[in-house]
Structure 1
Amino acid sequence: MALYQLPRLKNEKKFEEFICDLFNEIENTDSFQNTEYQNFGVKGQNQKGIDIFSAKTKTVIQCKLKDITKRDELIRKSLIEDIHLDLKKAFDLQFDINRFIFVSTFRDDSALQEFTSKLQDEARLPFPLYYWGWDTLAKYAEQYESILIKYFPKLIPKASKPPKKPALALPEGSLGLDLHKKNYISYLSKRYGDWKQIQFDHEGNGEKFNWASHNRSLMNRYHASGINYIPVAYFDDLAEYLKGRIDKTIFGKSKQSKGRRNYSPIGEHMKGILD
């Protein structure tokens, strides 16, 4: 659960600088000022469609700041046009690319995630293509104090009712006490829910993925009162269970049939490398 409601940045250059700093933190690289992740030129120069590049990881990041007051379908159409245009420009670059990531102030969107996956297959891209919306960016941003202080000095706490009694501390050996494993389970769980929703959307019956039912099923499986209370000793079993659910989705089966991974291993996830 998010700790803050991080407001979307509204200045294009500030957004690019934020992305540079954020990926430096996620991948534990040198700072933005030290040019590990650095602006790939300035506006008006021949950037060939590239905003940010890491020579170390050969990762290209394209930043898309969007007016979220517009209708979702208009923003989605604009982003798809941007992705097509910038990929064409990227092929003119004189260096190898290992990852190409589009980041946006628009929200996480299953249709855009599906679009980038299909585009990668249809265009036979020699590198993986990803879309990160503001939900994903904010989730990572709130983990780093330096990012919060620099870009969100006036944090907006989420409204909540005063607790009736003090929250109980998690017992020793709980999943919630191991941040890396807890985040990995959240990543797998979200991947399953998002891909099931893609399946429902294709079926066209208006069905929505039931997150409450999904979480209850996990709690019942491990006899826990909450996801964070699941004993960390069951981490491997829980991870394999969620991976199995992901693999059985229509989207998961399609990706596996093409020799592509449905999820990153935990080691790569800890470094911010997400399939």
Structure 2
Amino acid sequence: MDKERAGIQSVEVGFTLIEALAQASGPLMLKDVAAAAGMSAAKAHRYLVSFQRIGMVSQDARNSRYDLGPAALKVGLTALTRIDPVRLARERIPELIDNLRHTLAIAVWGNHGPTIVHWEESTQSITANLRLGDVMPMLASATGRCFGAWLPREVTSPLLEPEIERARKAKRLDLPLSRDAVTAMLTEVRERGAARVVDSMLPGIAAICAPVFDASGHIVLGLMTLGSLATFDYEYGGAIDAPLQAAALQLSSDLGWRATASAE
């Protein structure tokens, strides 16, 4: 074999287990992760033991299910933050926080939906149980609504449909409870240029998320800010929305986006 093409086959085989866990909707039993990776349970177990030792995989002691571990999260977040749009956005967060005086976050579209990849608190800190790597709901969060408005419907429908059903069963009158209502909400988000939620995802908290587009007009990330209803101006065109949208538009422009590019 050509030396430049030679590799370590066991690494490639073991990665199929990591990929299986990444594509799953939740933690898996040994037999299920082995089946998804196309190998025997005994063989999969040996790889999983090694992956556990280095933190790529974790196992719940209560039910023996496997999931991605902290090292996998760290690697994934590092890769995401090295994408140019995220790096450029992170560089501008401090100045934007000084302007808005509210906590700011960056979200990208991940395997399971809109995912927080950067988070910086302002001096007006709030109680928000959010962490790096958290996936935001599509309906109850400004971030989810932002991506829902500008991503193709075939991409977001697998997440939107279950949330509509759950909201309907829970009788969440603060959320859209039908496909038509969701369509109307997302249309308004596009017309306004940003998404917002008020007292929806977190009690007493409002949030606004503005989209950032690349040169082809595709949404690549969302700039989100949130704060207490006591101090946060959540009105469209207000003291928070206007500068946040301006920052998102400037970042989009720096990434090559022009108003003529399709952002639908």
Q: Flag the structure with higher strand content.
A: 2
Indicate the structure whose relative CO is greater, using CA pairs within 8 Å and at least 6 residues apart. 1
TM-score (norm 2): 0.25
**Structure possessing the higher radius of gyration over alpha carbons:** 2
